[in-house]
Amino acid sequence: MEENFNPVAQTRANYYTPGSPVQFVCVELLKGDVSGEHAVCLTFKNISRVTLTALEIHFKCKGVDGVILCEDKFEYRDLQVKPGELFGQDDAVFITAKAITSVDVTLCNVYNGKRVVHLDGIKRVRLPAPRRLAPELQKALEARMNRTGLKYQPQVFENGWYCACGAFHPTEEDTVYCSECGCDRILLQNALNTLLQPAAPADEMEMPLNAPAAPAAPAAVEEPTRIVGAAPAAPAAPVEEPTRVVGAPVYEPKADPIQPVSEPTRVLDASARAPLSGAAAADEGTRVIPARRPAPVRQPAPVEEDEEYEDSRDSVAEALIRWVPPITAILCAAIALCGFVYYQFVL
């Protein structure tokens, strides 16, 4: 007699098998509507690029007191599981009337036609627990992604990534799409970041708008940068910046000696020219004239010396140019003649 089993509880796997083409996804506990017995169903996923035809596992079920209720092997035969598909959720591996608290699953062998991959020697890796989202953030994320069941925070690890639905995708799967809820990992993370970023600025912007009567107090607490810009008024700036005040008089004495050299002498001359005698004016002229004399006196002397020096050098150069070529030709001819006579008559 056939019996309907209704889902009672579901728990995702907290570990995965590195390098395996198939991964254990979750365990589901069903209860019969007639007998009341509990059926254990396991769900697996094909994360390879080929079609799987069979799978052999070893499972262990424990009761409330930690006693092992069943430990056995189970085989999934005549499968045609394509890449990315789930399977096994319709096959009960164990049925019991006792309550079950935990199920341990070990992958043994997986088949692709006649090809078999042995997984017994691969050490399983425990996964970190997914982080639960706040109820308000969960509803906002589900509304933005237009999906339900997004209860966890998306996370990326060295060995894979968690989707918001709680599904873990190992690096061997090599995908950014969740095979269970259909979410895109990048879009999902961007949507969550968008929901998290404006939360704090929105609260800060609402408070000054809701309290316009006393803008000084809230602005001082929430926006210190604005207070710093408004507090230093016109009289406060010169008081708090002594370097600018001190810097102005430092440059004034440097300008003073330049101005007194020309201006005070001119003022004294203009005001005292009447009482002073003509000797004062003569003295001023003598001071100015000697400053101009060195320029014309120094110029002609070096010019004449340079011309004489250049003339003497030119005469020597002309003599060398005139007599060196013929003397050189005569010496070469003499050397050649001596050599000819030596080889002809001496040797």
DSSP assignments along 149-214, one per residue: ---B--EEETTEEE-TTS-EEEGGG--SB-TTT--BHHHHHHHHHHHHTTHHHHHHHHHHHH--S-
- 8 A C-beta contact, residue 4 and residue 32: yes
Residue 147: inside a domain, yes or no?
A: yes
The answer on 149 and 83 residing in a single domain is no
Residue 307: inside a domain, yes or no?
A: no
CA–CA gap between residue 26 and residue 338 (Å, rounded):
116
The answer on 121 and 59 residing in a single domain is yes
The answer on 60 and 29 residing in a single domain is yes
How many C-beta atoms surround the C-beta of residue 307 within 10 A? 9
The answer on 117 and 48 residing in a single domain is yes
DSSP state of 184: B
The sheet carrying 160-162 orders its strands as 155-157, 160-162, 168-170
Q: Token pair of 292, please?
A: 């101009």
pLDDT of residue 75 exceeding 90, the answer is yes
The answer on 118 and 41 residing in a single domain is yes
Residue 220: inside a domain, yes or no?
A: no
Angle between helix axes 242-272 and 278-292 (nearest 10 degrees) is: 120
How many C-beta atoms surround the C-beta of residue 84 within 10 A? 14
Q: Give the DSSP per-residue string, 118-150.
A: E-TTPPPEEPPPPPBPPHHHHHHHHHHHT-S--
By CB atoms closer than 10 A (0-12, 13-18, 19+), residue 108 is: middle
CA–CA gap between residue 239 and residue 220 (Å, rounded):
22
The answer on 142 and 66 residing in a single domain is no
The answer on 108 and 13 residing in a single domain is yes
Q: What is the pLDDT of residues 37-52, one digit of tens each?
A: 889 999 999 999 999 9
CA–CA gap between residue 32 and residue 97 (Å, rounded):
10
The answer on 110 and 140 residing in a single domain is no
Given 126, 147, 177, the domain boundary residue is 126
Higher pLDDT, 110 or 317: 110
Given 178, 196, 214, the domain boundary residue is 196
The answer on 155 and 65 residing in a single domain is no
Polymer length of the chain:
347
Q: Residue 203, CB half-sphere, CA atoms under 13 Å: how many? A: 5
Place of tokens 């999906």: 147
Q: pLDDT category, 66, cuts 50, 70, 90?
A: confident
What's the farthest any 2 CA atoms get from each other in the chain?
146
Q: What amino acid is encoded at 236 in this protein?
A: A
Predicted local confidence at residue 321, as pLDDT: 82
Predicted local confidence at residue 179, as pLDDT: 83
Predicted local confidence at residue 79, as pLDDT: 93
Q: What is the pLDDT of residues 117-171, one digit of tens each?
A: 999 888 888 988 889 999 999 899 999 899 898 999 998 888 899 899 988 889 8
Higher pLDDT, 224 or 123: 123
- 8 A C-beta contact, residue 114 and residue 50: no
Domain count, the chain: 2
The answer on 99 and 51 residing in a single domain is yes
Predicted local confidence at residue 175, as pLDDT: 87
Residue 288: inside a domain, yes or no?
A: no
State the CATH number of the domain containing residue 99: 2.60.40
Enclosing domain of residue 158? 135-196
- 8 A C-beta contact, residue 192 and residue 181: no
Residue 171: inside a domain, yes or no?
A: yes
Residue 291: inside a domain, yes or no?
A: no
Residue 259: inside a domain, yes or no?
A: no
Residue 283: inside a domain, yes or no?
A: no
Given 103, 126, 149, the domain boundary residue is 126
CA–CA gap between residue 76 and residue 87 (Å, rounded):
9
The answer on 142 and 103 residing in a single domain is no
By CB atoms closer than 10 A (0-12, 13-18, 19+), residue 166 is: middle
Per-residue CA distances from 26 to 207, 289, 332 (Å) = 47, 110, 110
The answer on 144 and 46 residing in a single domain is no
Q: pLDDT category, 308, cuts 50, 70, 90?
A: very low
